[in-house]
A and B are shown apart, each in its own frame.
Chain A
Amino acid sequence: MKVEIKVDSSIEETCVSIACNKLTPELEKLIGMVRIMEKQLVVTAGEETFILDVSAILYIEAVDRKTFVYTEKGVYESGLRLYELEEQLEEYGFFRASKSCLIQLRAIKSLKRDINRRIRVTIENGEMIIVSRQYVEALKRKLGLVE
């Protein structure tokens, strides 16, 4: 693959253009990553492809090597793996709640301590997710409760 980068001070808006004879899964992944920089996520539902605003995502779950994105309106599938999304979405307020789940902080309705030093999170849509003990410290750090 040839990579061309053109730096020109007269360019007002940065433009990423991809020229290819067909869209491969690798290219789709690359496009997904670029979209995340624009606070958007490319997802699919059935045969349709959607571009979601990151702010609309409640949580993301990995099930059987597939990644599902949950919003108020529905469930979508992402081509990116959970760890890739974790890296990209961390700066937008997402945190790891368990081995298979990422939650957006702003989508949380309430937080409660649970048995075994875990935290029970209630999402804005009423769903409940448990933050595993090993990720509790990271959540508290994100909340600014520990250094």
Chain B
Amino acid sequence: MEERKTIFDYLGQVMVTFGFSVFVMSVLCLLVGEEAQSVSTIYSLGKEGISVETMMQFLGVSVCITGFRYLFFTDRVIKWMSVTMRTVCMLSATIVVIVLCTVLFGWFPVGQWQAWASFLVTFALCFGGSLVVTQLKEKSENRKMEEALRKIKEKTE
């Protein structure tokens, strides 16, 4: 029987995403907190750390991202959709949420194109990188399975 997920599994996933983002931002705070304090609300405390307000915003984003994963990467809501299409939907929904947060919470100056460009480049690199790794892994696994199946068929014919 397909393993049934409980609300605690999703909460666990939210916490993993939230914990990872807080960890990355904490490291960035230590490195560039002082310089970025005046331009981003994320670094409002400088290199002292992340404010509770910002952490709650990250928690909200983590809930959204986990929700999107549930929506696009399980077949509980959408039964049949190609993996590529699911990835495109996940990517678009995540960008929309981050853009909304940026505008609402002032994560970086909305009027500066350089800030948007940096955000998009960083996001594309991270997402593209993980996508390429996943695709390569998937292709290699498919190839191994097909090869093993071919050998079994040859042996039994």
Contacts and interface: CB of A to CB of B under 8 A. Distances in A.
A133 B146 CA distance: 18
A2 B62 CA distance: 68
B149 A116 contact: no
Interface residues of B, number: 20
Interface residues of A, number: 21
8 contacts: A106-B153, A106-B156, A111-B142, A113-B142, A115-B75, A133-B3, A143-B148, A144-B152
Contacts of B145: 111, 119, 140, 143, 145
B9 interface: no
B86 A115 contact: yes
A44 interface: no
Interface string A115-147: 110010000000000001110000010011100
A99 B4 CA distance: 13
A127 to B, nearest CB: 14
Interface of chain B, main secondary structure: helix
Contact of B83 (A110, A115, A132): A115
B138 interface: yes
Contacts of A113: 138, 141-142
Contacts of A145: 144-145, 148
A67 B152 CA distance: 27
Nearest to B74: A116
Interface of chain A, main secondary structure: mixed
B29 to A, nearest CB: 35
Contacts of B141: 113
Nearest to A110: B146
A68 B86 CA distance: 33
Interface of A: 93, 98-99, 105-106, 108, 110-116, 119, 132-134, 140, 143-145
A147 B3 CA distance: 23
A108 B153 CA distance: 9
Contact of A143 (B83, B86, B152, B156): B152
A53 to B, nearest CB: 13
A67 B142 CA distance: 30
B142 A112 contact: yes
Contacts of A119: 145
Interface string B1-20: 11100000000000000000
B73 interface: yes
Contacts of A115: 73-75, 83, 86
Given A113-B142, A132-B2, 11 more contacts: A93-B156, A108-B149, A111-B145, A111-B146, A111-B149, A112-B142, A113-B141, A114-B83, A143-B149, A144-B152, A145-B145
B157 to A, nearest CB: 8
B90 to A, nearest CB: 11
Contacts of A134: 1-3
